[in-house]
């Protein structure tokens, strides 16, 4: 095995093992930032030793033991320091008992990971910080990988992570799983982080590519982990179902040359049936657990309407419109209303949809949202009002930050313009 | 990246020891909990299978068992992973369980990358 091979294997082992190691150490030292540093030290040791010694039989156990030794060293150092202070002050009483680190590390692993999830997504952190910390600690992604995924400088990510860890320490955020009533409320920022990561991958808001699949896969993995950790929470199954059904269309929604393909024009044979089956099963689980009125479960139910239609014409738009109405009721948002307008247009004709879109035209939150003029342009095209449609597509193209999408919108504007001139 | 792992071994190996089944169950459980294994299954004996072959413009159907085959596929798993190295590491752990709990057993796991969402981006 060459040294490059060894390094790639170490990367793989690290990604598999690091969340558990960090979580286990964090429980010993009660400090997530310190735990990550100690685990990183163990990784550095592996990178130094394994190329020469070969990869140990149980690499995960090796890394865990190495990190644990460093944690114990850290305590000894602190204890020695403490002892010196005490001697200086001639105070020999009140010495703290050293906790049983071994049994602390061998406790229930699932609980450790959960502690890690809830701490990395703690409400004291900004959502950007939560995303970075979650990708780093749970996803095992390097700072460089996160920077690449979000098209931001590596230094920015590094700084974000350092600041997040400091915030956790300064606020004395305990490394624990919220219990009872608190669990449900603390779950929502966790789900938000996962969905933010997914969406950034599914519809890249910036850059030249329409999607960044690595982020989608990462979000899916995090969601699946969470569904195993808190299997009784319906919305967790809802969000995983939503992501799986959306991800099932990944291959179909981008052309070979990279242009986006809208759902009704997609080749459904390219939809990933394994993900669809998993998604539908997850949705059923969420609904059985009483998640019928959860926002993620509702969105998954909408996505499922598309997934179940073997052809675009078979889509149950009336049901989709009804689900959007319920979603709008639970989570009032002009964006949900816009989607409902699209569904209504499909179910009851473009005029009915346009009436709703026009009501949204003055909505302040939608003033710079490119999909409003894009949807309006689409409905106007269907109604044969090409002159107005042309203007709407151009406005939409000016508003989007995604290069591929801009191109698509400009093509539609061009098309509307040509149609108008033909008349 | 999505990977398909298919394990093959001589069909007359007999039933796997209970210890191995337990250990594999635990490994599968962990792989589910890590969000990486998205599908797995075992295959019935080749006696219940058939081969449909096209050769020389003629399609022939041969019913199992496939006695002439040295090794036959017995099970599979589908993983979503970040790299081929991770796939190999996961597979290595699976094979180590066989070494530990089924002395003398010999076989092979084929690791194949499947086309999936990442593949589309990679080929662009």
When CB atoms are compared, the residue of A214, A258, A278 closest to B118 is A214
Q: What is the CB neighbour count within 10 angstroms for residue B26?
A: 11
Kindly list the structural domains of chain B, giving each domain's residue range(s) and its CATH number in brackets, ordered by start.
2-123 (3.30.70.1060)
Residue of A nearest to B121 (CA): A213
| CB-CB under 8 Å, A278 with B38 | yes
B114 at A interface, C-beta within 8 A: no
Dist CA A18 CA A63 (whole Å): 9
Top CATH class of A4-91 equals mainly alpha
* Encoded tokens for A207: 């850059």
What's the rounded Cα separation, in Å, for the pair A243 and A220?
7
Extract the tokens encoding A157. Answer: 């990510």
Of A13, A220, A250, the CB nearest to B89: A13
β-strands B72-80, B2-9 pairing: antiparallel
**How far, CA to CA in Å, does A235 sit from each of A184, A191, A276, A285, B80?**
10, 8, 18, 10, 23
Query: Chain A contacts of B36, Cβ < 8 Å?
Result: 221, 224
Q: Is the ipTM of this complex over 0.85?
A: no
Task: Please report residues of B whose CB lies closer than 8 A to that of A260.
Answer: none
Length of chain B: 124
| Closest chain B C-alpha to A250 CA, distance in angstroms | 6
pTM over 0.90, yes/no: no
Taking CA atoms, what residue in B is nearest to A214?
B118
Record: contact B80-A211, CB cut-off 8 A = no
| Domain boundaries along the sequence of chain A | 4-91, 187-315, 368-423
Picking from A221, A223, A257 by the largest number of B CB atoms within 10 A of its own CB, the best residue to mutate is A221
Query: Is B35 within 8 Å of A222 when comparing Cβ atoms?
Result: yes
Q: Tell me whether B120 touches chain A (CB under 8 Å).
A: yes
CB-CB contact of A27 with A118 (8 Å)? no
How many angstroms separate the most distant Cα atoms in chain A?
98
| H or E element that contains B9 | strand B2-9
SS3 (DSSP) at A362: coil
Q: How many CB pairs under 8 A join A and B?
A: 74
Written as tens digits, the pLDDT of chain A (423 aa) is: 677 888 888 888 888 889 889 999 998 888 888 999 999 999 999 999 998 888 888 888 899 999 999 999 888 888 777 666 666 565 444 444 444 444 444 444 567 888 899 999 999 999 899 999 999 998 888 888 888 877 789 999 999 999 999 999 999 888 888 887 888 888 989 999 999 889 888 876 555 565 677 788 889 999 999 998 899 999 999 999 999 999 999 888 888 777 778 899 999 988 999 999 999 999 999 999 988 889 999 999 999 999 999 899 999 999 999 999 999 999 998 889 999 999 999 999 999 999 999 999 888 888 888 999 999 999 999 999 999 999 999 999 999 888 888 998 999 999 999 998 887
Say whether residue A252 is in contact with chain B using an 8 A CB cutoff: no
**Contact (CB, 8 A) for B39 and B32:** no
């Amino acid at each position: 095995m060459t040294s490059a091979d060894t390094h790639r294997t170490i990367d793989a082992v690290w990604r598999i093992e690091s969340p558990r190691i960090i979580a286990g150490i964090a429980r010993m030292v009660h400090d997530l930032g310190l735990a990550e540093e100690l685990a990183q030290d163990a990784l550095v040791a592996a990178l130094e030793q394994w190329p020469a010694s070969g990869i140990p039989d149980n690499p995960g156990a090796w890394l865990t033991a190495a990190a644990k030794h460093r944690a114990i060293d850290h305590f000894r150092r602190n204890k020695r320091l403490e002892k010196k202070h005490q001697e200086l002050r001639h105070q020999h009483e009140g010495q703290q008992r050293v906790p049983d680190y071994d049994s602390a590390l061998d406790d229930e692993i699932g609980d450790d990971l959960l502690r890690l999830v809830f701490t990395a997504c703690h409400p004291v952190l900004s959502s950007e910080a939560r995303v970075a910390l979650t990708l780093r600690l749970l996803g095992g992604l390097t700072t460089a990988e996160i920077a690449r995924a979000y098209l931001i400088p590596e230094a920015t990510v590094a700084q974000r992570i350092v600041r997040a860890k400091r915030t956790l320490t300064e606020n004395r955020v305990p490394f624990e799983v919220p219990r009872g009533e608190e669990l449900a409320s603390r779950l929502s920022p966790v789900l938000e982080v996962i969905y933010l990561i997914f969406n950034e991958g599914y519809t890249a808001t910036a850059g030249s590519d329409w999607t960044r699949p690595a982020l989608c896969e990462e979000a899916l993995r995090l969601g699946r982990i969470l569904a195993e950790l808190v299997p009784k929470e319906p919305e967790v199954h809802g969000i995983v179902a939503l992501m799986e059904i959306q991800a099932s269309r990944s291959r179909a929604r981008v052309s070979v040359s990279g242009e986006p393909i809208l759902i009704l024009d997609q080749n459904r044979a390219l939809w990933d049936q394994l993900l669809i089956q998993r998604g539908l099963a997850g949705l059923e689980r969420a609904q059985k657990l009483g998640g019928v009125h959860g926002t993620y479960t509702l969105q998954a139910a909408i996505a499922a309407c598309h997934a179940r239609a073997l052809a675009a014409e078979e889509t149950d738009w009336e049901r989709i419109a009804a689900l959007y109405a319920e979603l709008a009721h639970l989570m009032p948002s002009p964006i949900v209303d816009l989607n409902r307008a699209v569904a209504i247009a499909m179910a009851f004709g473009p005029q009915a949809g346009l009436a709703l879109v026009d009501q949204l035209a003055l909505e302040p939150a939608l003033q710079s949202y490119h999909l409003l003029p894009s949807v309006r342009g689409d409905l106007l095209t269907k109604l044969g009002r090409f002159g107005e449609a042309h203007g709407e597509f151009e406005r939409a193209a000016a508003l989007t930050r995604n290069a591929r999408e801009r191109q698509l919108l400009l093509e539609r504007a061009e098309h509307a313009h040509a149609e108008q001139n033909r008349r | 990246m999505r990977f398909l792992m298919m394990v093959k071994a001589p069909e007359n190996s007999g039933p796997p020891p209970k210890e191995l089944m337990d250990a594999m169950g635990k490994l599968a459980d962990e792989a589910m909990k890590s969000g990486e294994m998205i599908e797995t299954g075992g295959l019935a004996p080749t006696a219940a299978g058939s081969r449909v072959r096209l050769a020389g413009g003629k399609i022939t159907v041969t019913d199992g068992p496939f006695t002439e085959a040295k090794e036959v596929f017995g099970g599979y798993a589908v993983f979503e992973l970040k790299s081929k190295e991770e796939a190999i590491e996961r597979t290595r752990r699976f094979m180590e369980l066989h070494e530990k709990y089924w002395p003398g057993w010999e076989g092979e796991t084929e690791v194949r990358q499947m086309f999936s969402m990442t593949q589309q981006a990679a080929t662009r």
